[in-house]
């Protein structure tokens, strides 16, 4: 995309009345970070400083280079059209025709996302995974926001979080887990949040985002993305919870939501690996594992308002559970999980 197509746009910053969700971003630190009443004022001061430094993020979002990069990424990722039928090949021409009103709506916080198009894909272990496909324009906005938010949020995440992060991969998570098993931590607490992306509580997520972001325009637009309806079979269903899989921002928001879990596990001194919502905690005995399972389940459900799938979660020897398509054997050796091997043979 030519650099001339997107000129840097400036505008007068507007500050509409905060919505109830925005007003609830009090930065109290509630959510299991381990901060007690004594540390709360210090935490609030740190949050206030972060907000002050991030009060004009939308100006970075609409910068020429940032939008050009976001446009190239959306086009490269291809993907299906949203509810408006626009394909990625039409994106550059649309921006050429609408860039002034488009950037103005981002700068004044009035941008309104479209509903996402519902689609289902089969899960490897059976069942269907619900996707929400945003329009190409909404994907552009989310990608442009992602490029601004990642340098702010990612450095605050745990080193034990590996999914959908720069310079980290599933292989890194597997190698870390191998090291824990080799050290003798051969019992795994395998925790599976039930329908994670469908269950994310909007107020809890926006509270966490508000700890890092001071630009109310960005918070307002991201809140609209979360609440955007799901269009399926000609019917638009309003959403009061969840962040649909299919948008560029969803993986970053998922990591932000679960960062409180990471910090809680670190505070307790646990050895763990998390990849997106797939979290394995490594302990030395089944008895310890049952205690950890009970306490972490309580934390997830009471603090983050997530539901743990009791049927898929378990405490077991590492060889009996799979992690990222693999299983760990004695001595830290790594092998493919039986179902993963079966699927690989079927594809061949």
Q: What is the DSSP string of 217-255?
A: HHHHHHHHHHH--EEETTEEEP-SB---BTBTTHHHHHH
Residue corresponding to tokens 């840097």: 8
Report yes or no: 136 and 89 within 8 Å, Cβ to Cβ.
Answer: no
- pTM for the structure as a whole: 0.82
Say if strands 128-133 and 116-122 run parallel, antiparallel, or are unpaired: antiparallel
Q: What's the CA gap between 220 and 226, in Å, rounded? A: 10
Residue corresponding to tokens 């990222």: 324
Tell me the β-bridge partners of 190.
280, 314
Q: What's the CA gap between 142 and 126, in Å, rounded? A: 30
What are the strands, taking DSSP E only, across the chain? 116-122, 128-133, 187-191, 230-232, 235-237, 271-275, 278-283, 314-317, 326-328, 334-336
Residue corresponding to tokens 């626009």: 86
- pLDDT tens sequence for the chain (348 residues): 443 444 433 333 333 333 334 334 433 332 333 333 333 445 578 778 877 889 899 999 999 999 999 999 999 999 899 999 999 999 999 999 999 999 999 999 999 999 999 887 776 666 677 788 999 999 999 999 999 999 999 999 999 999 999 999 999 999 999 999 999 999 999 999 988 888 899 999 999 999 999 999 999 999 999 988 788 777 777 777 777 778 899 999 999 999 999 999 999 999 999 999 999 999 999 999 999 999 999 999 999 999 999 999 999 999 999 999 888 887 778 888 888 888 888 888
φ/ψ of 130, rounded to 5, equals -80, 125
Say if strands 230-232 and 116-122 run parallel, antiparallel, or are unpaired: parallel
**Whole-number Cα distances in Å, 230 to 27, 237, 244, 248:** 30, 5, 9, 16
Residue corresponding to tokens 């004695």: 330
Q: What's the CA gap between 211 and 28, in Å, rounded? A: 9
């Amino acid at each position: 995309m030519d650099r001339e197509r997107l000129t840097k746009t400036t505008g007068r910053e507007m500050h509409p009345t905060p919505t109830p969700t925005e007003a609830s971003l009090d930065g109290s630190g509630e959510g299991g970070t381990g901060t007690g009443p004594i540390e709360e004022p210090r935490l609030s001061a740190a949050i206030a400083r972060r907000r002050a430094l991030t009060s004009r993020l939308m100006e970075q979002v609409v910068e020429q280079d940032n939008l050009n990069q976001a446009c190239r990424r959306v086009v490269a990722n291809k993907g299906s059209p949203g509810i408006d039928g626009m394909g990625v090949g039409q994106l550059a021409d649309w921006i050429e025709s609408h860039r002034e009103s488009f950037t103005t709506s981002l700068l004044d916080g009035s941008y309104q996302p479209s509903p996402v198009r519902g689609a289902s894909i089969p899960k490897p272990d059976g069942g269907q995974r619900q996707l929400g496909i945003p329009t190409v324009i909404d994907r552009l906005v989310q990608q442009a926001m992602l490029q601004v938010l990642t340098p702010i949020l990612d450095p605050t995440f745990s080193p034990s979080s590996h999914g959908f992060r720069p310079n980290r991969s599933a292989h890194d998570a597997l190698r870390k887990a191998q090291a824990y098993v080799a050290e003798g931590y051969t019992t795994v607490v395998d925790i599976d949040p039930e329908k994670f992306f469908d269950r994310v509580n909007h107020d809890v997520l926006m509270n966490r985002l508000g700890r890092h972001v001071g630009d109310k325009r960005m918070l307002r637009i991201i809140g609209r993305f979360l609440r955007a309806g799901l269009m399926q079979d000609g019917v638009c269903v309003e959403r009061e919870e969840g962040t649909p899989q299919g948008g560029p921002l969803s993986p970053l928001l998922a990591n932000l939501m679960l960062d409180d879990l990471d910090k809680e596990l670190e505070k307790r001194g646990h050895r763990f690996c998390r990849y997106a919502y797939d979290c394995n905690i490594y302990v030395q005995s089944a008895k310890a594992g049952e205690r950890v399972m009970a306490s972490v389940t309580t934390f997830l459900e009471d603090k983050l308002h997530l539901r743990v799938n009791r049927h898929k979660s378990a405490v077991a020897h590492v060889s009996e559970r799979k992690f990222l398509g693999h299983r760990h054997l004695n001595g830290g050796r790594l092998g493919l999980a039986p179902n993963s091997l079966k699927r690989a043979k079927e594809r061949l």
